[in-house]
Amino acid sequence: MKKSLLIMLILVLTLSFTMTACSSGSQTNNQQAQTGETEKAQEVPQEVTYISMTDAVGLSPILTNDSASSNIIREIYETLFMRDPKTGEIKPLLAESYENPDDNTWIIKLKQNIKFQDGTPFTSEAVKYTFEKIMDPKTASPRASLLKSVSSIETPDDYTVVIHTKKPYGIMLTALAHDNLSIVNPKADQNGDINKNPVGAGTGPYKFVEWVPGDHITLEKNPDYWQGAPKLDKVTFKVVPEMATAVSMLETGEADFLVGVPPEQLDRLKNNPDIDVIEMQGNPTRYLGFNFEKKPFDNLKVRQAISYAINRDAYIATLNGLGYKSRGIIGPKLFGYNEEIEQHGYDYDPEKAKQLLAEAGYPNGFKTTLTVGNTDVYMKMAPFIQAQLKEIGIDVELNVMDWASFLSYCKAGNQELYLNGWMNVTGDGEELLYPQFHSSNIGASNYSRYNKPDMDAMIMKTRVTVDQNQRYNYIREANIALTDDVAWIPMFNDVVTLAHRKNVKGITFESNGEFRLNDAYKE
């Protein structure tokens, strides 16, 4: 009996040892597998390629004002303030805080222990240098108007900037969040041409490496970035003018993301299992404009008739979900918008359009030209509008030209009707009102040649009022007035899109179509 118990005990111990050994081996194998997976994940090159339809004009925020340049500038440089992409609130970035002892003074405290990419400390002198260079007429900065109200800049210490204005400037914080007021390193700017070779020029998360004109621009991570080194090691901005080629590159993995998917390519990308498409209501607006200096477009009834003649709902239905309707000049994604504007504007009513034309003295319609820049979005809109206006007796001839010629033609006031759009970088309605409708911008950005003293006065209130609640109300009132006056015919607002490979994560995408790569990575 004792012998049998001893044998059983030996068997149990042996089995226990064997099971423990097997379990230990299994754990080891699992740990090895997990380690292998981790190493495999770590082996994924942290590099992405963005497809840009056009090359950058330059890489200095002081000297540029185009979206292709701004996409890169935003990664190299930083502004004093930025707009929160989720809430739209203006928040400090390089700045720590601000105060207004009076309506014409802005005291800005800067964050400390921040360095430019060459190791030079970021101080108030860099802010003063940047802004004064932008303000200098010799510089010919394309966005000098952002600082037009500034009279002087003081730097009482390394981390304090005092900005004095000639008169109250209510959009100061909005202006200071604009990419073109990014702070540059004076040392880098004085030692070379940062518009072509911005080595060490910014405080941002990525550093400039190379620019092969017409082909690509390469950035690498800034390991000493003050908010922590980004996860991506390398970012390439690849120039691909043809959208069909760009889409193919995204599908094959030769590129990682692009912005602005056209309607005809949307379903193709959304149905690709390797690609995600982000869609959101954006602030870019597309419109039919009038030259108010040319008859009969100075007649409100004519403008109303044209608005009644266009079935915007029918046109938006052709955009495959990439456009949405708003009746106002200032759309839902801009500061100053109020939903009450949707009770204004004009619904599709061709009979009402004919009646108004007759009341205006044109019972049989008239002939006119519609000037169009030869980009896809406007070339699609033009024949639709041409056909719609023909239904009420307006004979429209299309005047198509390349984009650069279109801009010059409209600035000179040669157009009658024209198609255009406006993307609001700062998300503030004033940034649309002043450049587009203030009479001081006729011959520049006011292509409508809109010139009404009462509207000039109202628009200026949106600029000089420091109280933001009051400023909001002024923008709201201006939106109603311009919409009722048919200053434009809003055709649609963009649904902005970003298509990316599914293994690319963490891109911050905003309603103005901009993106940031601070938190982006590849898995």
When pLDDT is averaged across residues 286-292 and rounded to a whole number, the result is: 98
Asked whether the predicted pLDDT for residue 497 surpasses 60, the reply is yes
**Statement to judge: residues 206 and 336 lie in one domain:** no
Which two structure tokens, joined as six digits, stand for 457? 């006065």
Residues 342-350 have a mean pLDDT of: 96
> How many domains is the chain built from?
2
User: With 80 as the cut, is the pLDDT of residue 2 above it?
Assistant: no
Q: Report the Cα 39 to chain-centroid distance in Å.
A: 37
Q: How far apart are CA 361 and CA 194, in angstroms?
A: 58
Considering the domain boundaries, does residue 501 fall inside one? no
Residue 16 lies in a domain: no
Q: In what helix (H) or strand (E) does residue 269 lie, and over which residues does it extend?
A: helix 263-270
Q: Please tell me whether residues 183 and 315 are part of one structural domain.
A: no
Are 237 and 375 part of one and the same domain?
A: no
In a domain, 37, yes or no: no
Whether 523 is covered by a domain: the verdict is: no
**9 — pLDDT class (breaks 50, 70, 90):** very low
% of the chain surpassing 70 pLDDT: 92
363-388 pLDDT, tens digit each: 999 999 999 998 888 999 999 999 99
- One domain, residues 301 and 226: no
- Residue 376 domain-assigned? yes
* Domain end residue (candidates: 191, 219, 241): 241
Q: Are residues 229 and 297 in the same domain?
A: no
Give residue 39's pLDDT: 47
Decide if pLDDT at 306 tops 60. yes
Question: How much is the mean pLDDT over the chain?
Answer: 91
507 lies in some domain: no
The answer to whether residues 205 and 294 belong to one domain is: no
Cα dihedral 343, 344, 350, 354 sign: positive
Q: Is the domain of 213 the same as that of 289?
A: no
pLDDT higher than threshold 60 for residue 14: no
Residue 426's pLDDT is 82
Read off the pLDDT of residues 401-455 as tens digits, 9 standing for 90 and up.
988 789 889 999 999 999 999 988 788 999 899 989 999 989 888 999 999 999 9
Looking at residue 142, what is its pLDDT? 84
Q: Are residues 299 and 227 in the same domain?
A: no
Do 230 and 374 share a structural domain?
A: no
* Domain CATH code at residue 443: 3.10.105.10
Ranges 106-115, 498-507, 509-518: which has the least confidence: 509-518
pLDDT band of residue 63 (cuts 50, 70, 90) is very high
Domain termination residue (choose one: 241, 261, 296): 241
Phi-psi region of 361 (alpha: psi -120 to 50; beta: other; left: phi over 0): left
**133-184 pLDDT tens trace:** 999 999 989 888 889 899 999 999 999 999 999 999 999 999 999 999 999 9
Say whether pLDDT at 36 is over 60.
no
Q: Which domain holds residue 139?
A: 47-241
Query: Are 183 and 24 contacting, i.e. CB atoms less than 8 angstroms apart?
Result: no
For 287-293, what is the mean pLDDT? 98
- Above 60 in pLDDT, residue 32? no
Dump pLDDT digits (tens) for 208-227: 999 999 999 999 999 999 99
CATH of the domain at 179: 3.40.190.10
The verdict on 218 and 361 lying in the same domain is: no
Residues contacting residue 195 through CB under 8 Å, at least 6 positions apart: 58, 59, 60, 62, 63, 64
| Closest-CA residue to 399 (of 410, 412, 389) | 410
Q: Which pLDDT belongs to residue 479?
A: 98
Q: Same structural domain for residues 223 and 291?
A: no
Confidence of residue 11 (pLDDT cuts 50, 70, 90): very low
| 248 found inside a domain | no
pLDDT tens profile 90-143: 999 999 999 999 999 999 999 999 999 999 999 999 999 999 999 999 998 988
In this structure, the answer to whether residues 134 and 213 fall within a common structural domain is yes
Q: Does residue 205 belong to any structural domain of this protein?
A: yes
Q: Which amino acid is at 164?
A: H
Compute CA distances 336 → 16, 88, 240, 448, whole Å: 75, 12, 37, 21
The least confident of 19-23, 189-193, 388-392, 441-445 is 19-23
pLDDT of residue 6 exceeding 80, the answer is no
Confidence of residue 42 (pLDDT cuts 50, 70, 90): low
Q: Give mean pLDDT, residues 311-340.
A: 95
Summarize the confidence of residues 336-365 as an average pLDDT. 97
Average pLDDT (264-293) is 96
Q: Please determine, for residue 26, whether its predicted confidence score (pLDDT) is greater than 80.
A: no
More confident site: 289 or 468? 289
Residue 441 CA to residue 414 CA, distance in Å, equals: 16
